[in-house]
Amino acid sequence: MNQPDQGDKSYAGKTVVVTGASAGIGRATAELFGRRGARVALIARGEDGLRGAADSVDYLGGTALALPVDVADFEAVDQAAERAESELGPIDVWVNVAFTSVFAPFTKITPAEFRRVTEVSYLGYVHGTMAALRRMVPRDRGTIVQVGSALGYRSIPLQSAYCGAKHAVNGFTESVRTELMHDRSNVRITIVQMPAVNTPQFSWVLSRLPRKPQPVPPIYQPEVAAEGVVFAAGHPNRKEYWVGGSTVATILAQKLAAPLLDRYLAKTGYDSQQTGERADPGRQGNLWQPVDEPLGSDHGAHGTFDERSRDHSGHLAAAETAETAGSAVARGFDAVRNTVKASGHDAEEGGSPPHDQGAAS
C-alpha cells in the first residue's frame, strides 16, 4: 500500500463517489482521491474488496464509506447516492468505473450473459449518471467522470459485449454533455479513454478462451489510469482525455484506417489477448457473483502483470501540462476581460458629471 501524502489535499472536504471501487482502476482512483483528502463513497459488489478499499482510503488520509451495491440496479444506486450525501455531504464528483465482461467469441456468449454485461458495463454508467444528476443539477454544480476505453472507439475480437457497452457509454455521454451545455448548466461531464491496464479483471472475468486472458500490450498500471481520472475531475471542461500512447494510436488509426485494422485484428486479435498458459479448468468468473466477497479474497488494484506494466504515461503528462497551462491562460484572459469591463463601467459613471453639478459650476 502507498504511504499517506501530507502534501496535496486538494479534495479535502469534498465528497466523491466511485463505482467499481473494490479493485482495478476504481480501487486506484478511490485511493488517490483519499490521498487528496476526499470523503469517498465506494460502490461495488464484493464486500471484502470494499473493506480493503475503505481501509486504504482511510489510511491514505481520506474518509471512506463502503456501499455494497450492484450498479445494474438503479434503485440501489440511487439509495447509495442518498446515503453518501447523508453521511459524507453533497456529492462533488461521481466516477463511473464498474464493469464486467465475457472473453469469448460472440457465438459462444449466451443472450443472458450479453445482457448482464450490458446492464453492468453500460446501464451501470447510465444509472450512476442519473443518480448524480438528480443531485447535481438542482445545485448547479458537480462533475461526472466516465472511465472509457480505447475499445469504445475500436472494437476487438473476443470482447463484443464489453466493446458494445463502451461504444454506448461514449454515445450517451456525448448526448448528456450537449444537453447540459444547452441548459447552460455548471454541471460538467467528461470521459477518460483508457489503454490496457493491469487489473484483476483478467483473472476473474468469465472466459471461454483456451488460454489465460491478458491485456493487449502495452500495459499500464492502474495508478496511471487513476491519475488521469483525478486530473479530469479537476479539469472537466474538456470533452475527453486519452491516457497512454496506445490509446492515442488506436483512436487515430481507427479514424484513418478502420478497414485495415479489421484485417489486422482478425489475424492478431486472438493470440494477443491470451498468454501461453492453458486456462484453469476451475476458474471462477464474476459475471453473476463477485469473486472478492468472502474474507481473504481482496485483490487490490493490481492484476498479475506487474512486471510487464508501465507506471507512467508520457501522453497523459503532456495533456495535463497543456490543460493546466490552458486553464491558466484562460483565467488570465478572464481577469483581463473583467478588468477592462470594470474600467469601462467606471468610465461611464465618472466620464460625464451629473447634470446638477454641471449647472452649479
pLDDT at residue number 171: 98
> What's the first-to-final CA gap in the chain, in angstroms?
79
- pLDDT at residue 354 in the model: 38
Q: How far is 308 from 231, CA to CA, in rounded Å?
A: 25
pLDDT at 352: 42
Q: Is 223:33 a contact under the CB 8 Å cutoff?
A: no
Q: How far apart are CA 300 and CA 53, in angstroms?
A: 7
Calculate helix-pair angle for 111-121, 123-139, nearest 10 degrees: 20
Q: Is 315 helix (H, G, I), strand (E, B) or coil?
A: helix
> Is the CB of residue 97 less than 8 Å from the CB of residue 20?
yes
Read off the DSSP letter of residue 272: G
Helix axes 314-350, 222-234, angle to 10 degrees: 10
* 3-state SS class at 305: coil
> What does each C-alpha distance from 111 to 108, 115, 156, 163, 283 come to in angstroms?
10, 6, 19, 16, 21
**Following DSSP, what letter does each residue of 65-86 receive, concatenated?**
EEEE--TT-HHHHHHHHHHHHH
**C-alpha grid cell, residue 298:** 481482496
State the DSSP code for 4.
P
Q: Which residues contact 115 (CB under 8 A, 6 or more apart)?
A: none
**Which positions ≥6 away from 285 have C-beta within 8 Å?**
102, 204, 205, 206, 207, 291
Residue 203, all three cell numbers: 483473472
Helix (H) or strand (E) holding 143: strand 143-149
Torsion on CA atoms 267, 268, 270, 276, rounded to nearest 10:
130
What are phi and psi for residue 244, nearest 5 degrees?
90, 140
Strands of 150-297 (E only): list them.
188-194, 196-197, 206-207, 211-213, 219-220, 240-242, 274-278
CA distance 105 to 87: 44
Q: What is the pLDDT along the chain (361 residues), one digit of tens a residue?
A: 566 666 789 999 999 999 999 999 999 999 999 999 999 999 999 999 999 999 999 999 999 999 999 999 999 999 999 999 999 999 999 999 999 999 999 999 999 999 999 999 999 999 999 999 999 999 999 999 999 999 999 999 999 999 999 999 999 999 999 999 999 999 999 999 999 999 999 999 999 999 999 999 999 999 999 999 999 999 999 999 999 999 999 999 999 999 999 999 999 999 999 999 999 988 889 999 999 888 888 989 999 998 899 987 665 555 555 555 555 444 554 555 555 555 555 545 554 443 333 333 2
Rounded distance, CA 219 to CA 150, Å? Answer: 13
Superfamily name with CATH number, domain 15-312 = NAD(P)-binding Rossmann-like Domain (3.40.50.720)
Catalytic residues: 162
Cα 96 from Cα 25, distance rounded (Å): 10
DSSP state letter for 215? P
What is the pLDDT, as a whole number, of residue 193? 98
Tell the residue number behind the cell numbers 466516465, with chain if given. 146
Q: So what's the pLDDT on residue 312?
A: 77
Closest CA to 72 of 25, 117, 22: 117
Q: Please check whether residue 286 is in contact with residue 113, taking contact to mean a CB–CB distance below 8 angstroms.
A: no
Q: In the prediction, which pLDDT does 230 show?
A: 98
Q: Which of 65, 108, 69 is nearest to 290 (CA)?
A: 69
